[in-house]
């Protein structure tokens, strides 16, 4: 078997959340370039992603759903299977962040982030996992964060949720590896996306961040492509419960 064929995702169906822009779009396009068909889920349209995926000759389907609640989860899996004819890879990428001093942080700020970043992620894994266990194979890729390893500043619910993503990823790997499933996560570093516009526009913070990154640049959505395809493909069949930093060397500093 050639190295290229081991990364080939032809005939595979990916269900990915938060693929309308930024990191999720970069991950979806990398998977499509490797041959996969894409079913994207989000609360806002993904027209640009759809155009780019279909231009690659892959199928694309969009499911509009509010992932701040777990109520649409079962219907998402059902629709994916009905429309796409299968489900091989789940990418949990949808997420949000709220910033504020700990002494002023509200319950609403806490719940809004935890519900989307951790609670819905777990129940998406559960629902997809049931199908994957029944078919005897599947890949689940969660989006963790540098704050799965570090504490951060002024983002208590985000840090808690991403630390939880790392823990849930390991737990699911422990339970499901013997059933033919691979559950892993990617921890993006400081990426130049809409989510970090506030940091990028703050001269002092932007300089402090850039000075610490050994690669001497902010990451891009395209930088996640390699790790995503690796974890989605047969190359990673014996990789379980890892959180792969894609951070330009930030954690090594």
Distance separating alpha carbons of residues 184 and 122, to the nearest angstrom: 13
Annotation says 238 is catalytic: no
Distance separating alpha carbons of residues 86 and 149, to the nearest angstrom: 34
Task: Determine the length of the chain.
Answer: 253
Among residues 158, 176, 190, 230, the one annotated as catalytic is 158
Torsion of CA 14, 232, 146, 111, to 10 degrees: 30
Q: Are strands 13-17 and 37-42 parallel, antiparallel or unpaired?
A: parallel
Report the alpha-carbon angle 56-58-62, nearest 5: 115
DSSP H helix total and E strand total for the chain: 10, 7
> Which residues are tagged catalytic?
158
């Amino acid at each position: 078997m050639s190295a290229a064929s081991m990364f080939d995702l032809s005939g595979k169906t990916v269900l990915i959340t938060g693929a309308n822009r930024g990191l999720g779009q970069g991950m979806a396009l990398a998977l499509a370039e490797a041959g996969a068909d894409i079913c994207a889920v989000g609360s806002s349209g993904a027209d640009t992603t759809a155009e780019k995926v279909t231009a690659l000759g892959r199928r694309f389907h969009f499911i509009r759903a509010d992932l701040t609640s777990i109520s649409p989860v079962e219907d998402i899996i059902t629709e994916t299977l009905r429309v796409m004819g299968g489900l091989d890879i789940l990418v949990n990428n949808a997420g949000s962040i709220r910033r504020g001093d700990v002494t002023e942080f509200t319950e609403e700020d806490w719940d809004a982030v935890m519900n989307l970043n951790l609670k819905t992620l777990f129940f998406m894994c559960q629902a997809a996992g049931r199908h994957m266990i029944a078919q005897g194979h599947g890949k689940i890729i969660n989006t963790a964060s540098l704050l799965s390893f570090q504490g951060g500043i002024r983002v208590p619910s985000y840090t808690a949720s991403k630390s939880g993503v790392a823990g849930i990823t390991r737990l699911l790997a422990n339970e499901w590896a013997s059933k033919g499933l691979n559950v892993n996560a990617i921890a993006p570093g400081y990426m130049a996306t809409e989510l970090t516009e506030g940091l990028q526009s703050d001269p002092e913070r932007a300089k402090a961040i850039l000075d610490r990154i050994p690669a001497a640049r902010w990451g891009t959505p395209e930088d996640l492509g390699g790790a995503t395809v690796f974890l989605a493909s047969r190359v990673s069949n014996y990789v379980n419960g890892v959180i792969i930093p894609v951070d330009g060397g930030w954690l090594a500093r």
